[in-house]
Amino acid sequence: MKLVWKLLRENISKPQLIGFFFANLIGMSILLLSLQFYFDINPLFSQKETLFKKDYFVLTKKLGLLSSLASAGSGFHPDEIGELKTKDFIKDVGVFTPGQFGVRAGISSRSMGIGFNTDMFFESVPVQFIDVNTRDWKFSEGRNVIPIILPRNYLDLYNFGFAESRSMPKLSQDLVKMINFDITIRGNGQMQQFKGNVVGFSDRLNTILVPEDFMTWANTRFGENTDAKPVRLIVEIKDVTHPQIASYFKNKGYEVNQGNTAASKLSMFLKIIVTIVAAIGLIICVLALVILILSIYLLLEKNMQKLINLRLIGYARKTLTKPYIYLALAINGATLLLSFIVVVVAQKQYSEVVSRIFPQYESAGYLNMVLIGLILFVVLGSVNAFIIRKKIK
Average pLDDT over residues 149-178: 81
Q: Do 40 and 175 fall into the same domain?
A: no
Output the pLDDT for position 322.
78
Mark whether 239 and 317 lie in a shared domain. no
Instruction: Specify the pLDDT at position 52.
Output: 44
Are residues 291 and 273 part of one domain? yes
Name the residue with higher pLDDT: 135 or 13.
Answer: 135
Q: Is it the case that residue 172 has pLDDT exceeding 80?
A: yes
Same domain, 182 and 248: yes
Query: Same structural domain for residues 302 and 316?
Result: yes
3-state DSSP of 75-123: CCCHHHHHHHHHCCCEEEEEECEECCCEEEEEEEECCCCEEEEEEECCE
Of all residues in the chain, the percent with pLDDT exceeding 90 is 7
Q: For residue 387, give every residue at least 6 positions away whose Cβ sits within 8 Å of its Cβ, in sequence order, or none.
A: 293, 296, 297
How many domains does the chain contain in total? 2
Lowest-pLDDT choice from 98-102, 165-169, 260-264: 260-264
Q: Is the pLDDT reported for residue 34 higher than 90?
A: no
The pTM assigned to this predicted structure is 0.56
pLDDT class of 345 with cuts at 50, 70, 90: very high
pLDDT greater at residue 227 or residue 333: 333
Query: Cβ(317)–Cβ(324) under 8 Å?
Result: no
Same-domain check for residues 333 and 275: yes
Residues 298, 186 share a domain: no
Instruction: Using the 3D structure, point to which of 203, 237, 260 is the last residue of a domain.
Output: 260
- Domain edge (last residue) among 243, 260, 277: 260
Instruction: Give tens-digit pLDDT for 313-339.
Output: 777 777 777 777 787 788 888 989 999
> Last residue of a domain, which of 205, 230, 260?
260
* Mean pLDDT lowest among 66-75, 97-106, 244-253, 296-305: 66-75
Q: Is the same domain home to 205 and 276?
A: no
Structure confidence by residue, pLDDT tens digits, 35-60: 888 788 777 655 544 444 557 888 88
CA atoms within 13 A on the CB side of 81: 16
Residues 211 and 310 in one domain: no
Mean pLDDT for all residues in the chain: 78
Chain-centroid distance, C-alpha 112: 39
- The identity of residue 354, as a single letter, is V
- The residues near 35 (Cβ < 8 Å, ≥ 6 apart) are 278, 368, 369, 372
Structural domain boundaries, residue 129? 55-260
Instruction: With cut-offs at 50, 70 and 90, classify the pLDDT of residue 264.
Output: low
- What does the pLDDT look like over 179-192, one tens digit per residue? 888 899 998 888 99
Domain match, 353 and 335 both: yes
Q: Alpha-carbon distance 235 to 239, whole Å?
A: 12
**Closest among 8, 7, 3 to 391, alpha carbons compared:** 8
**Is residue 285 located within the same domain as residue 329?**
yes
Percent of the chain with pLDDT over 70: 75
On whether the CB atoms of residues 24 and 295 are closer than 8 A, the answer is no
- Asked if 232 and 139 sit in the same domain, the reply is yes
